[in-house]
Amino acid sequence: MTLVTFAMALAFCAVHLFVGRLRWLESTPRSRWLSFAGGVAVGYVFLHILPELGAHAGTFEQATGLDAQLAEGLVYTLSLAGLALFYGLERALAASRDERMEREGRDRPHHPVFWLHIGASALLVALIAYLLNHREDPSPAGLALYFAAMVLHFITADFGTRADHPEIYDARGRWVLVAATFGGWALGLFVELPPMAIGCLFAFVAGGIVLLVLKEELPEDRKSYFLPFLGGALLYAALVLGETYLATG
């Protein structure tokens, strides 16, 4: 299983390194493949993230002795914190781009703002890689579904991050994400956090993923395609339901 998760971490790194070479993603209107990937990511949010948040609420209840409703509220508060953090970074990027465009005529955010965004993305990437070795659903099928959803999520997220400042991303930013991926994966091998800590990490990651999925797919100026988006969501739902049926049948 260690070799399997290592290969998955390598695939994550390949996305970080080579997303800039996927020129067919840059079509206008938005590439159908990006819309398909967005649909898969949304399917992951509703069919994995939300149910697993509920499962982690039970862990919080047992570990803290809190009332069930309060423990559930705490889990979703952590998820909200992840969403709010990444929303704030996205707004800071947009404001920095607008200001620099107005003053310098350059459609790029200021370097410190972009690096702040890269740093937050690296944290998210490291947590996702860590969870390769500490899944709520440890079955091979569950791991495969997690991997597929995260690869497609990284394609859309890295594509959007690179679009903000391709020069910095290609020169150094992508290598930071690669280091974060390997660091998170290695940490997952040698450090086994208690269930409550893993629940906290997952809840925070969940909020960030939800925000990034919505940010990349839903704005009107993306000119995205509905049918590929729907197809991705339905395909992922079919795979999840099929895996659940086989596991319980």
pLDDT in tens, 84-116: 988 898 888 888 888 888 888 877 888 888 898
Average pLDDT over residues 43-60: 79
Q: What CA–CA distance (Å, rounded) separates 115 from 166?
A: 12
Q: What CA–CA distance (Å, rounded) separates 127 from 183?
A: 9
Q: What CA–CA distance (Å, rounded) separates 133 from 237?
A: 23
Q: Identify whether the C-beta of residue 5 lies closer than 8 Å to the C-beta of residue 142.
A: no
pLDDT score, position 172:
92
